[in-house]
Amino acid sequence: MPSQPLDHNTGPGIDPLHLLLIVVGADLRAERGDRPLAYRLCQSIEAWVNKHRAALATPILPVVCTDIWYLNHEQLHHRPTVSIGGPGVNALSSHFAQSIHQQEASDQQVVIQIDPEFTDLRVSVWGTDHALTVKGLDLFLKDYLENFLKAVATQVEPET
């Protein structure tokens, strides 16, 4: 399926250059288990943004979407992105498994794939079951979210 162009009128006051995408699978297991985790992450990001709003040079707008929507909009692939859920339920996590450094692993049960230098602002968080995906998200929130968001806030967008 060819990539769909993104309408820059994504909604009132929404500039795609401000999006931080939180991607879950379109699989029913992902919708049931991972989407609530994505909204939890979204709330944590919103709280951080509200706390640091005065110091931010550019807005950060977290948005939860499915892997199918993300993969079909190539122009968003350079946006900061957190993929939640394993390769079995999230096609983006499967793609990221091939291209992002694995930072955390506990007997290959919890995986956090993240660039420790935060130059690549793509992250994948998952576990071998739902409880372990929850544990992975907890680790990401505790150990990585602050520095990830600082990197997102200071990223330099290329001129297009």
pLDDT at 159: 45
pLDDT of 9 higher than 60? no
What domains are defined for the chain?
A: 16-154 (3.30.379)
What does the chain come to in residues? 160
| pLDDT per residue as tens digits for the range 49-91 | 999 999 998 899 999 999 999 999 988 898 999 999 999 999 9
Residues 86-133: tens digit of each pLDDT: 999 999 998 888 777 665 555 568 999 999 899 999 999 999 999 999
Residue 11: per-residue pLDDT: 52
C-alpha closest to that of 92 among 61, 116, 124, 120: 124
Q: Which two tokens stand for residue 153?
A: 């806030």
Pairwise CA distance, residues 85 & 93, whole Å: 7
For position 98, what pLDDT does the model report? 77
What is the arrangement of strands in the sheet containing 19-24, beginning at the earlier edge strand?
Answer: 61-66, 19-24, 81-84, 122-127, 110-113, 102-105
pLDDT at 108: 65
For residue 75, what pLDDT is reported?
81
Element (DSSP H or E) covering residue 21: strand 19-24
Residue located via tokens 């007997």: 107
User: What is the band of 15 on the pLDDT scale with cuts at 50, 70, 90?
Assistant: confident
With tokens 């793509």, the residue in question is 122
Helix (H), strand (E) at residue 18? none
